Chains A and B, each alone.
Chain A
């Protein structure tokens, strides 16, 4: 079983829809990251969370440490949000363990 599981694996939605991507993990962590990977391969860090909720523009990330679960929400989605969204958890001193990613496609 993977230590980090994301759902769904693929998500297609219409522009303007509210998007939710989920991440569950099975191990103790000290932080959780949400990352965005563009079609060209580059990775951008969106959030780092250890508790509660963070918001940046149209993006919101939440984490429930007791339930070992995090969600990434996108409000008023736009075609430029199309990318792979990756959840990664910090284990050990610095090691990140990655989920398999969620491929998001937003159609105009």
Chain B
């Protein structure tokens, strides 16, 4: 069964360093998402991505964050200068959609196993 994969499973970094979290969505999916979950808190939406551009983002997703689909398979989240409060579990997700999708073509999201980011 196809699945979303994420690497690394755990990333430890020093405050101020740049990190790139990687995701390989399910191959025929067209919508891609990043979420985060700070320890003990609820999951929060960061950004959605469709047709090589951001389609929606939350107030959390500020200029320190960026997303990219550098090739046909990877979807990355970059944090430019990490802060202590960026420590969290980051989940990638993907969903299907038809080309020229509208709200009606939204489908179930499939989540990756997550990357635990620890900023020291």
Residues of A near any B CB (own CB < 8 A): 30-31, 33, 35, 40-45, 48, 86, 88, 90, 92-101
With beta carbons under 8 angstroms apart, the residue of B31, B43, B45, B55 that contacts A43 is: B43
Q: Which residues of A contact B43 (CB under 8 A)?
A: 43, 86, 88, 96, 98
Q: Which residues of B contact A40 (CB under 8 A)?
A: 113
**A-side interface mostly:** strand
B108 and A33 contact, CB distance less than 8 A: yes
B56 and A43 contact, CB distance less than 8 A: no
Number of A-B residue pairs having CB atoms within 8 Å of each other in the complex:
62
Tell me the bound Cα distance from A94 to B102 in angstroms. 10
Q: Which residues 33-58 in B have Cβ within 8 Å of A in the complex?
A: 33, 35, 37, 41-45, 48, 50, 55-56, 58
For residue B106, give the distance in angstroms from its CB to the closest CB of chain A.
7
Q: Which residues of A contact B58 (CB under 8 A)?
A: 95
For residue B112, give the distance in angstroms from its CB to the closest CB of chain A.
8
With beta carbons under 8 angstroms apart, the residue of B41, B45, B50 that contacts A97 is: B45
